[in-house]
């Protein structure tokens, strides 16, 4: 049985004197207008990368990674360097040898920005609280805003618009689902999330998202998939949840995106995944390798969307 559809309300409006964004701790640190301008900039930077080659000359950013990473780490490092800046890397727990607030204040003196991929969202919040430089959430347990910037760029490239599209997210109500609801929802995308009972998105975040966009939460994949322009899934067991793997595997099996489930969306629907994918679990090989899979377009756009984000936050 479907859960109640959260109430639709008007999209947030940009104010004439809207201040420039200074950080990306949660998706809502970027206004709707700021996201729209960022998408336009990302498109220009993708088409004419050399035009922006010295945009961050003399700027140095710290990349703090508590979790392993391929796309996030490499695309941020490449983005910074391709814009003429440079990055220093630190891998490991940020609050291991000293408090987060001390790490933050050191980096505040040395660098012009922090990109952090962490286990707990409170680490991102603490980094931001103790610095005067931009802090970018490159993934936490609650949000994955940089991934969703690339996702909406990919959606817009494919369909030529965002308003009026429907995106079905099938699987775990995790950080990716949260950021999709908060960001895509504000841009006119109907985000429908289908999860097993007990794995729904954070209720407070879902309520927050529903204040600015059309959000559906359901246990029925067919409801989410009906009329969907995009079908999105993610791993069933995220880093840090390994002890739950067996239980999750059983709970999520009916939510695998195979050819039959994919066929319940529109005939021209695209398949999306933030990667890495566990083929044979949340998605079958047939679907992820199909001509309608755009997973590597998403991965490519991590680079371009993050270039635009860096320039937006670090420009004078």
Give catalytic residues, as residue numbers.
117, 144, 147, 234, 274, 302
Beta bridge partners of 190: 166
Q: Cα torsion at 227, 234, 203, 179 (round to 10°)?
A: -80
Continuous H helices in the chain = 32-47, 71-82, 100-110, 121-129, 145-159, 175-179, 203-210, 221-225, 245-252, 259-262, 285-288, 295-314
CA distances from 215 to 3, 32, 98, 190, 310 (A): 11, 16, 41, 6, 29
- Residue 231 to residue 63: CA distance in whole angstroms: 31
Do 161 and 189 contact (CB within 8 A), yes or no?
no
Of 198, 183, 193, the residue nearest 225 (C-alpha): 193
- For residue 301, with 0-12 CB atoms within 10 Å meaning exposed, 13-18 middle and 19 or more buried, which class applies? buried
Point out which residues pair with 115 in neighbouring strands. Answer: 63, 136
Q: Would you state the structure tokens that stand for residue 41, as one six-digit string?
A: 């900039």
The count of residues in the chain is 316
φ/ψ of 233, rounded to 5, equals -140, 170
CB atoms within 10 A of CB 279: 14
């Amino acid at each position: 049985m479907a859960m109640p559809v959260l109430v639709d309300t008007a999209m947030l409006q940009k104010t004439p004197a809207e201040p420039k964004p200074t950080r990306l701790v949660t998706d809502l640190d970027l206004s709707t207008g700021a996201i729209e301008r960022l998408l336009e900039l990302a498109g220009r930077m993708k088409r004419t990368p050399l035009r922006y080659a010295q945009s961050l000359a003399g700027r140095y950013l710290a990349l703090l990674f508590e979790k392993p990473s391929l796309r996030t780490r490499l695309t941020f490092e490449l983005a910074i360097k391709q814009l003429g800046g440079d990055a220093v890397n630190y891998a490991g727990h940020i609050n291991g040898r000293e408090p987060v607030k001390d790490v933050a204040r050191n980096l505040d003196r040395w660098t012009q920005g922090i990109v952090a991929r962490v286990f707990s969202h409170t680490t991102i919040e603490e980094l931001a609280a103790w610095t005067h430089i931009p802090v970018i959430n490159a993934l936490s347990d609650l949000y994955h805003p940089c991934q969703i910037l690339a996702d909406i760029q990919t959606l817009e490239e494919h369909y030529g618009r965002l308003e009026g599209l429907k995106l079905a997210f099938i699987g775990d109500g995790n950080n990716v689902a949260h950021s999709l609801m908060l960001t895509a929802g504000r841009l006119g995308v109907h985000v429908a999330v289908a999860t097993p009972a007990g794995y729904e998105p954070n209720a407070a975040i879902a309520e927050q998202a529903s204040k600015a966009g059309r959000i559906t939460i359901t246990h029925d994949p067919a409801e989410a998939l009906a009329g969907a322009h995009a079908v999105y899934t993610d791993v069933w067991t995220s880093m840090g949840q390994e002890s739950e793997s067996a239980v999750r595997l059983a709970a999520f099996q009916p939510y695998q995106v195979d050819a039959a489930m994919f066929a319940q969306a529109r005939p021209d629907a695209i398949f999306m995944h933030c990667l890495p994918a566990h083929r044979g679990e949340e998605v079958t090989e047939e679907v992820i390798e199909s001509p309608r899979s755009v997973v590597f377009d998403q991965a490519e756009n991590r680079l371009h969307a993050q270039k635009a984000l860096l320039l937006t936050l670090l420009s004078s």
